[in-house]
């Protein structure tokens, strides 16, 4: 184990001229072995330094290790800590990150070139790191990666032995910045300050790494502590670095808190702004004030109800990233984006139709819109329609696409709110359903495809009556259970407006089909017998038993009349018979058609008094079946509705 400390020969007055050559200091080590090795390190003062290594120092620090802090620097900084055990898919039994880290540390120790002093010894194992859930800062851990090890090895190979010595070795001086220049702008003019505040070195390195300012990072990477080197800086340069970093942190916090809709609106507004710039360039405008472009962008965001502040610097970078041939010019007051005269031709050439590229763009746009349509919850009706109900029923990306199709993508051509035409078209697309009729007919087969219109009219459509409480699903299941009724459906379709009686074969098939709709296990063929069985044995209420045979006949006549109209729809001029006799009758007073429910006589008073509804409480709230049938509740009813 080696722990290094630097002794400046100029300031070590106690040692004086004795440190003129490699030697070993006679220090009271109490059994610890200390070695003092000559290292000519080129710092700002350009004075040779000595590196003191000792085993006992590291063991003492290891005992004081704070595992809740970074195991490398043991300091609390604004940078977040990372634990390899928390990584997605990490092997918690022996994560490779710990093993790789300790391997690189061992290499650095062999080269006697640790990037910074460590607080643990060489006997630490991966199990120790796992047991204590060791964590580190990303910037600290990056100093011990494989690339740094290779650099250290290269520097070690460049070392040449000094004449007359076998123990001491001198390294090639590393390139460093001059102590008379500002480490940020590398200029010498103006008043400069020295780093004196504790932690200033760590803060500068952290901000430079977070901002990815590679030039600054290269200058200070291997230079050592900025305070010890008496590094200089302009106050304005340091303030500028802090402001840029603060702005970056705010942007990250804002982007985390922004809802998905806000991000989508910002992306849409920026795309419209880029389209506006492209259109202006094609028309011969090659200079744009950055303030004007930003004003257009902010105004468009305000149309969407977004009032967040837009950083000028990042906005400029966003625009220039999309127009790499544009140039930034400034007269001290205004920032202007300038495009060369030949830019117009280049853009036109770039905007030429590339069919493969266009197809990929369309496919991507369709995928984005489809994903949002399928994931959208839509509008939940709660008894009222709020003013923004139309906007809520349509996904944001779909509205953006429809608006761009209708008005183009230029920012100046957009409405402040979504137009009614956009909402109507978007709702049409959102709720549009395409059914392949050929595929349906192929799956059903010829017989069922022909019988389908009659099945639809018999089980209830807009112009016919329907079976109470029995929808298309129940009727379809009954058709699958009793396929013989297909013959009757086809007969009515092949012979439009045919006469139907209770004794004809087609009606008997429909009667059996009706019984199965209400009771799939029944063996009865007559609806009257099924009514008696369900009412007496299974105690079903009146509205849940089949209609009478006479009522079913009138219903069948209405279904046959409607199916006949559909069957003759391919004729140039249809001549359907009068609805009279097909379950309809003409009211002489009002001259309107009304359905004939049954030709049976009205039930006697005695029979009516034996009927009761299924209400359980005294107040049913208007859901009483007697009331729906326009009857008065009898003494047997519990609710006694008037």
- For the segment 137-151, what is each residue's pLDDT rounded down to a tens digit? 888 888 888 878 887
pLDDT reading at 417 higher than 80: no
Give residue 543's pLDDT band: very low, low, confident or very high (50, 70, 90).
Answer: confident
pLDDT score at 248: 80
Residue 595: phi and psi, rounded to 5, are -70, 145
Closest CA to 195 of 235, 153, 163, 136: 235
pLDDT at position 504 is 95
- Looking at per-residue pLDDT, the higher value among 50 and 371 belongs to 371
Residue 308's closest CA among 362, 347, 265? 265
pLDDT score recorded for residue 450: 94
pLDDT at 274: 84
Distance CA 479, CA 489 (A): 11
Mean pLDDT of the chain: 76
Contact of 301 with 269, CB cutoff 8 Å: yes
Residue 61 has pLDDT above 60, yes or no: no
Average the pLDDT over 409-421 and give the result: 74
pLDDT score of 78: 81
CA distances from 381 to 386, 394, 395 (A): 10, 14, 17
DSSP string, 352-400: S--HHHHHHHHHHHHHHHHHHHHH-------SS--TTHHHHHS-HHHHH
Short-list 131, 149, 145, 144, CA closest to 83 = 131
Residue 583 has pLDDT above 80, yes or no: yes
Provide the pLDDT for residue 383.
61
| Two tokens, residue 616 | 């359980």
Q: Per-residue confidence at 160, pLDDT binned at 50, 70, 90?
A: very low
Coil/strand/helix, residue 513: helix
Q: Which of 290-299, 534-543, 608-617 has the highest mean pLDDT?
A: 290-299
The radius of gyration of the chain from alpha carbons, rounded to an integer in Å, stands at 44
Average pLDDT of the residues in 163-182: 53
Lowest mean per-residue pLDDT among 172-186, 240-254, 463-477? 172-186
Q: Is the pLDDT of residue 219 over 70?
A: yes
Angle between helices 260-282 and 396-407 (to 10 degrees): 20
The tokens describing 634, both together, are: 């009898």
**What pLDDT sits at residue 476?**
95
- The answer to whether the CB of 235 falls within 8 A of the CB of 193 is yes
Q: What pLDDT is recorded for position 512?
A: 95
The residue with greater pLDDT, 581 or 34, is 581
CA dihedral 35, 41, 44, 49 (to 10 degrees): 20
What percent of the chain lies above the pLDDT cut of 90?
Answer: 20
How would you class 118 by CB atoms within 10 Å of its CB: exposed for 0-12, middle for 13-18, buried for 19 or more? buried
605 pLDDT band (50/70/90 cuts)?
low
Q: How confident is the model at residue 457 (pLDDT cuts 50, 70, 90)?
A: very high
Tokens 């630097």 sit on residue: 6
pLDDT the model gives residue 89: 56
pLDDT tier at 179, thresholds 50, 70, 90: low
Among 191-195, 267-271, 382-386, 578-582, the minimum mean pLDDT is found in 382-386
- Burial of 365: CB neighbours in 10 Å, binned 0-12, 13-18, 19+: middle
More confident site: 94 or 539: 539
Q: How far apart are CA 57 and CA 234, in angstroms?
A: 38
> Measuring CA to CA, how many Å separate 187 from each of 4, 184, 227, 239, 325?
33, 8, 19, 16, 30
Give SS3 for 51: strand
**SS3 at position 160:** strand
Q: Residue 351 CA to chain centroid, in angstroms?
A: 30
Say which residues have a Cβ less than 8 Å from residue 21's Cβ, sequence separation at least 6. Answer: 38, 168
* pLDDT at site 13: 37
Q: d(Cα 556, Cα 548) in Å, to the nearest integer?
A: 12
pLDDT of 102 > 60? The answer is yes
Q: Are 112 and 2 in contact (CB under 8 A)?
A: yes
Higher pLDDT residue, 278 or 13? 278
Neighbours of 434 (CB within 10 A): 4
Mean pLDDT of 568-578: 91
Residue 422 half-sphere exposure toward CB, CA atoms < 13 A: 22
Q: 549-567 and 527-536 helices cross at what angle (nearest 10)? A: 130
Token pair for residue 310? 């837009």
- What distance in Å separates the CA atoms of residue 62 and residue 56, rounded to the nearest whole number? 10
Taking a C-beta distance cutoff of 8 angstroms, is the pair 489, 445 a contact? no
Orientation of helix 549-567 relative to helix 505-518, angle to 10°? 110
Model pLDDT, residue 495:
94
DSSP 327: E
Q: Sketch out the chain's domains with CATH numbers.
A: 5-170 (no CATH), 193-254 (no CATH), 258-350 (1.10.10), 355-430 (no CATH), 437-600 (no CATH), 609-642 (no CATH)
Whether residue 54 is predicted with pLDDT greater than 90 in this model: the reply is no
Q: Residues 6 or more apart from 205 whose CB is under 8 A from it?
A: 139, 217, 220
Please state, in angstroms and rounded to a whole number, the distance separating the CA atoms of residues 35 and 256: 52
The Cβ of residue 510 has, within 10 Å, a number of other Cβ atoms equal to 24
- In whole angstroms, give the CA distance from residue 396 to residue 393: 10
In the predicted model, what is the mean pLDDT of residues 346-365?
A: 67
């Amino acid at each position: 184990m080696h722990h290094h400390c630097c002794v400046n020969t100029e300031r070590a007055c106690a040692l004086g001229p004795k440190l003129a050559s490699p030697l070993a200091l006679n220090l009271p080590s109490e059994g610890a072995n200390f070695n003092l090795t000559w290292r000519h390190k080129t710092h700002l003062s350009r004075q040779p330094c000595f590196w003191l290594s000792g085993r006992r120092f590291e063991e003492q620090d290891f005992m004081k290790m704070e595992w809740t802090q970074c195991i490398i620097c043991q300091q609390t900084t604004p940078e977040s800590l990372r634990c390899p055990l928390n990584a997605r898919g990490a092997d918690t039994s022996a994560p490779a990150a710990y093993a790789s880290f300790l391997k690189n540390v061992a290499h650095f120790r062999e080269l006697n070139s640790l990037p910074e002093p460590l607080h643990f010894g060489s006997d630490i194992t991966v199990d120790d790191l796992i047991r204590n859930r060791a964590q580190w800062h990303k910037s600290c851990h990056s100093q011990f990666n494989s690339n740094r090890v290779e650099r250290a090895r290269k520097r070690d190979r460049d070392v040449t032995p000094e004449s007359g010595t076998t123990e001491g070795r001198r390294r090639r001086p590393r390139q460093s910045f001059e102590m008379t220049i500002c480490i940020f702008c590398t200029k010498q003019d103006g008043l400069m300050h020295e780093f004196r505040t504790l932690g200033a070195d760590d803060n500068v390195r952290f901000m430079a790494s977070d901002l990815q300012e590679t030039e600054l990072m290269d200058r200070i990477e291997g230079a050592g502590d900025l305070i010890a080197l008496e590094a200089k800086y302009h106050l304005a340069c340091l303030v500028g670095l802090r402001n840029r970093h603060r702005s970056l942190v705010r942007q990250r916090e804002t982007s985390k808190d922004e809802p998905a809709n806000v991000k989508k609106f910002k992306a849409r507004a920026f795309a419209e702004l880029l389209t506006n710039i492209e259109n202006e360039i094609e028309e011969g405008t090659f200079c744009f004030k950055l303030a004007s472009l930003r004003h257009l962008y902010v105004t468009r965001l305000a149309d969407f109800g977004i009032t967040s502040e837009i950083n000028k610097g990042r906005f400029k970078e966003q625009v220039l990233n999309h127009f790499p041939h544009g140039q930034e010019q400034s007269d001290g007051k205004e920032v202007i984006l300038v495009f060369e005269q030949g830019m117009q031709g280049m853009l036109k050439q770039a905007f030429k139709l590339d069919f493969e590229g266009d197809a990929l763009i369309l496919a991507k746009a369709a995928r984005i819109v489809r994903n949002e349509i399928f994931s959208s919850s839509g509008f939940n009706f709660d008894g009222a329609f709020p003013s923004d109900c139309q906007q809520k029923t349509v996904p944001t990306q779909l509205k953006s696409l429809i608006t761009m199709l209708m008005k183009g993508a230029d920012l100046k051509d957009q409405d402040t709110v979504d137009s009614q035409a956009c909402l109507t078209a978007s709702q049409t697309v959102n709720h549009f359903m395409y059914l392949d009729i050929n595929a349906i007919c192929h799956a059903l087969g010829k017989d069922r495809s022909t019988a389908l219109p009659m099945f639809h009219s018999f089980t209830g459509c807009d112009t016919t009556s329907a079976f109470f409480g029995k929808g298309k699903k129940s009727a379809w299941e009954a058709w699958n259970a009793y396929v013989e009724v297909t013959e009757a459906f086809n007969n009515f379709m092949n012979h439009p407006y045919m006469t139907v009686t209770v004794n004809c074969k087609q009606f008997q098939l429909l009667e059996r089909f009706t019984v199965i709709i209400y009771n799939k296990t029944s063996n009865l063929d007559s609806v009257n017998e099924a009514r008696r069985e369900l009412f007496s044995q299974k105690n079903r209420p009146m509205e849940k038993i089949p209609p009478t045979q006479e009522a079913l006949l009138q219903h069948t006549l209405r279904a046959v009349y409607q199916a006949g109209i559909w069957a003759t729809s391919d004729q140039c001029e249809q001549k359907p018979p009068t609805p009279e006799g097909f379950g309809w009758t003409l009211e002489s007073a009002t001259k309107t058609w009304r359905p004939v429910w049954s030709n049976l006589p009205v039930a006697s008073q005695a029979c009516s008094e034996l009927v009761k509804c299924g209400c359980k409480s005294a107040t049913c709230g208007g859901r009483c079946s007697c009331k729906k049938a326009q009857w008065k509740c009898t003494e047997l009813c519990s609710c006694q509705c008037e």
